[in-house]
Structure 1
Amino acid sequence: MLRMVAVSLLMSGSLLVAAEPKTAQLAAPQDWAGETIALPPGFAPDMKLKGTEHVRFAPGMMKPESDSFFCYAFVFELEPQPALTEAVVKEEFLKYYRGLCKAVLRGKLPDVDPSDFALELQLVKSDTEPAVYTGKLDWVEPFATKKSQKLNLEIQTWARNDRNYIFACVSPQARDAAIWKQLHAIRTDYLKK
């Protein structure tokens, strides 16, 4: 099933490499798959963010029965503009998820309207970098179930060395579920760099 993600990204022309280059790894447990894609991705060409996305998928990413279904972590390594305001983050994430759903479903579910997807963001901490947000995305999961799904997001944004960064931990699981410890460990390791 994870190959379906890669095939979808290949078809949209956005896959750069199947394995992380040594210079830009997003470390994760050995059984977590990963990939790197260019931003904006082919499935969301209207995104303003330009750079690279590194993503790591939990072993149960495409298995609806798994407690790590649709759980993953990603980092956007970006050009310095636009500034990562709350409005920009919200707008760009909606473009990303709407485009992903549209590209994967390609008319298979005509009743699904990605413009109906909604993202609630709450700024938790802004006085220091990174800025921290929690969020909830209401969308249709297009790969395995093709059903409505609520994704919990933890997002951090910061700027360093003429680059902008967005790190996101994503899961439909409640924030006290075990998967969040793994997602946080991936984030912590990345933030140490």
Structure 2
Amino acid sequence: MLRYLALSLVLVGTLLAADESAEFKLVAPDSWGGETISLPPGFAPEMTLKGEEHIRFAPGMMKASSDTFFTYAFVFELEKKPELKDDLIKDEFLKYYRGLCTAVLNGARPDVDPEKFTFDLENEEPDANKAEDGSFPAGTHVYQGKLTWVEPFATRAPQTLNIEIQTWTSGNRNYLFACVSPQTRKAKIWKELHKIRDTYLKGHLKIGP
């Protein structure tokens, strides 16, 4: 699965920095794949965010029949500018997913118009979605998002992704952590995604119990 994803991205000109021989920035079960991508990525060069994206893919990431299809967690480790405001996050996510779909489809679905993709983003109070075994860093902004797009890898069909986002600043860097899945937020996979997120917070940022 991971090789298929990486190969697809490489073939469409995406510059990937594989993490296969290094320790993953995000701790996840051994069955989860992983990558590191430079930001802005090759498939969305118009993004303004600069830094690195660390990703962990659920085992069923590329299996349309799996209950973990297109389920993954990622963190953007970013330069301190620009500030991660609501409108910027929404705009950057649309650029990312529109670019990804366009690059992977590579003209195979001329009827698909990425400009019609939508991303609804809502602010939440941090306590409404706080870390399950700790707390988010001070100043954390918490969002619930819903992305409608065309999944370009396995089905090439319309898909809705549920996305949980936390953003914060630490030192001279901005951080954006996202948990992504088409599964409803009551599905058990979200506990696994939250565990990956919370482990990153405790280990990388030295917070929590």
- AA paired with 2:18? V
User: 8 Å contact 1:37–1:52 — kept in the other structure?
Assistant: yes
- AA paired with 1:102? T
User: 8 Å contact 1:20–1:26 — kept in the other structure?
Assistant: no
Query: Which residue in the other structure is 1:3 paired with?
Result: 3
Match of 1:183 among 176, 188, 193: 193
- AA paired with 1:154? E
Provide the secondary structure at the position in 2 that maps to 1:83: coil
User: 8 Å contact 1:71–1:171 — kept in the other structure?
Assistant: yes
Distance 2:14 2:61 in 1: 22
Query: Which residue in the other structure is 1:16 paired with?
Result: 17
Query: Which residue in the other structure is 1:147 paired with?
Result: 157
User: 8 Å contact 2:33–2:58 — kept in the other structure?
Assistant: yes
Query: Which residue in the other structure is 2:130 paired with?
Result: none
Distance 1:94 1:63 in 2: 24
Unmatched tracts of structure 1, length 5 or more:
none
Unmatched tracts of structure 2, length 5 or more:
128-137, 205-209
- 1:1-193 map, 5 Å: 1-11=1-11, 12-19=13-20, 21-22=22-23, 25-125=25-125, 128-192=138-202, 193=204
Query: Which residue in the other structure is 2:132 paired with?
Result: none
Q: How far does the alpha carbon of each residue in 1:81-140 deviate from its partner, in whole angstroms, 9 at most, with x for none?
A: 100000110000000000000000010001000010000000002695210000100000
Provide the secondary structure at the position in 2 that maps to 1:99: helix
Q: How far does the alpha carbon of each residue in 1:120-172 deviate from its partner, in whole angstroms, 9 at most, with x for none?
A: 00000269521000010000000000000000000000110100000000000
Identical aligned pairs, as a percentage?
A: 60
Specify whether residues 154 and 20 from structure 1 end up closer, same or farther in structure 2 by C-alpha distance, changes over 3 A only: farther
> How far has the Cα of 1:16 moved from its partner?
1.0
Distance 1:40 1:8 in 2: 18
Of 8-17 and 53-62, the range deviating more from structure 2: 8-17
User: 8 Å contact 2:2–2:34 — kept in the other structure?
Assistant: no
Structure 1 segments (4+ residues) deviating >3 Å:
none
CA-based RMSD of the aligned residues comes to 1.4
- AA paired with 2:119? L
Provide the secondary structure at the position in 2 that maps to 1:3: helix
- AA paired with 1:187? R
> How far has the Cα of 1:20 moved from its partner?
6.6
Provide the aligned length of Structure 1 versus Structure 2.
192
Distance 2:80 2:9 in 1: 25
